């Protein structure tokens, strides 16, 4: 039987986050997520609402978008077993592949060529107890050539979140190993205030705004 994935949507847009922000990118949003972050902005993908597609249907479908950059996101993409094979196949086809994961599941089975963007959920998400800290250990133990394929992301809704993130980064000395992104919850945390905290503390993190929410209306889908 063919390997399939439940796909919520695919679309072409400008990458809004990560060190790849600003590049045209094809997005494959997989359906389903067992978490329930308070400020989730992709609830439409958290359910099992989607279309079942074989891996070859997905790869053929992507060709129309004509980008060398592809992001697999969700929902939580790692909840579907066949996502590992899809990532491998896309890498074999010379796509630059990004994985955006909520950070509750280990990324140890993800193809080493995939660029992994891993959330570290802050307390206001309501899900910080579920962070899979083994992913930090995995990044730290990786050879230097692979460390650059890990990016950790903290989304901050308030000062308490910021301090939590700062403590976590310091405890694991994470900024010494990997790129760390710090962003603000759109409409809740003033990015200028977050920028000030980062500068005051000399944190070696990359401030990221969700670019797509500034280019288009913040609640617009498929961007």
Using CB under 6 A, list all residues that contact ligand SF4: 33, 35-37, 40, 42, 46, 74-76, 102
> What's the closest the beta carbon of residue 155 comes to ligand SF4, in angstroms?
8
> What's the closest the beta carbon of residue 32 comes to ligand SF4, in angstroms?
9
Q: Strands (DSSP E) along the chain, which ranges?
A: 4-14, 24-30, 51-54, 69-73, 96-101, 115-119, 150-156, 179-184, 206-208
> What's the closest the beta carbon of residue 41 comes to ligand SF4, in angstroms?
7
Using the minimum distance from each CB to ligand SF4, give the nearer residue, 30 or 114: 30
DSSP tag of 19? T
Using the minimum distance from each CB to ligand SF4, give the nearer residue, 76 or 161: 76
Residue number with the smallest Cβ distance to ligand SF4 = 102
- List Cα–Cα distances, 181 to 99, 118, 150, 154, in angstroms: 15, 10, 11, 6
> What's the closest the beta carbon of residue 62 comes to ligand SF4, in angstroms?
21
The alpha-helical segments, DSSP class H, found in 63-190 are 83-92, 134-141, 144-147, 159-172
Using the minimum distance from each CB to ligand SF4, give the nearer residue, 16 or 74: 74
Using the minimum distance from each CB to ligand SF4, give the nearer residue, 59 or 110: 110
Residue 69, exposed/middle/buried by CB under 10 A (0-12, 13-18, 19+)?
Answer: middle
Using the minimum distance from each CB to ligand SF4, give the nearer residue, 74 or 166: 74
> What's the closest the beta carbon of residue 2 comes to ligand SF4, in angstroms?
26
Under 8 Å CB-to-CB from 202, ≥6 apart: which residues? none
């Amino acid at each position: 039987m063919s390997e399939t994935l439940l796909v919520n949507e695919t679309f072409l847009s400008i990458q809004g986050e990560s060190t790849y922000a600003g590049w045209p990118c094809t997005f494959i949003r997989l359906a389903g997520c067992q978490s329930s972050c308070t400020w989730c902005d992709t609830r439409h993908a958290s359910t099992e609402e989607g279309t079942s597609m074989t891996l070859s249907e997905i790869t053929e479908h992507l060709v129309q978008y004509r980008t060398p950059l592809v992001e697999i996101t969700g929902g939580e993409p790692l909840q579907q077993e066949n996502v590992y094979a899809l990532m491998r196949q896309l890498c074999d086809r010379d796509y630059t592949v990004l994985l955006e994961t909520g950070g509750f599941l280990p990324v140890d089975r993800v193809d080493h060529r995939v660029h992994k963007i891993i959330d570290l959920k802050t307390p206001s998400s309501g899900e910080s107890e579920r962070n899979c800290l083994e992913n930090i250990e995995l990044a730290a133990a990786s050879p230097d050539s692979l460390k650059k394929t890990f990016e950790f992301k903290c989304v901050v809704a308030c000062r308490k979140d910021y301090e939590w993130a700062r403590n976590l980064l310091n405890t694991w000395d994470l900024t010494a190993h990997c790129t760390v992104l710090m962003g603000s919850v759109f409409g809740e945390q003033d990015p200028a205030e977050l920028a000030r905290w980062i500068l005051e503390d000399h944190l070696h993190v990359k401030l990221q705004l969700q670019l797509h929410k500034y280019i288009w209306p913040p609640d617009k889908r498929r961007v």
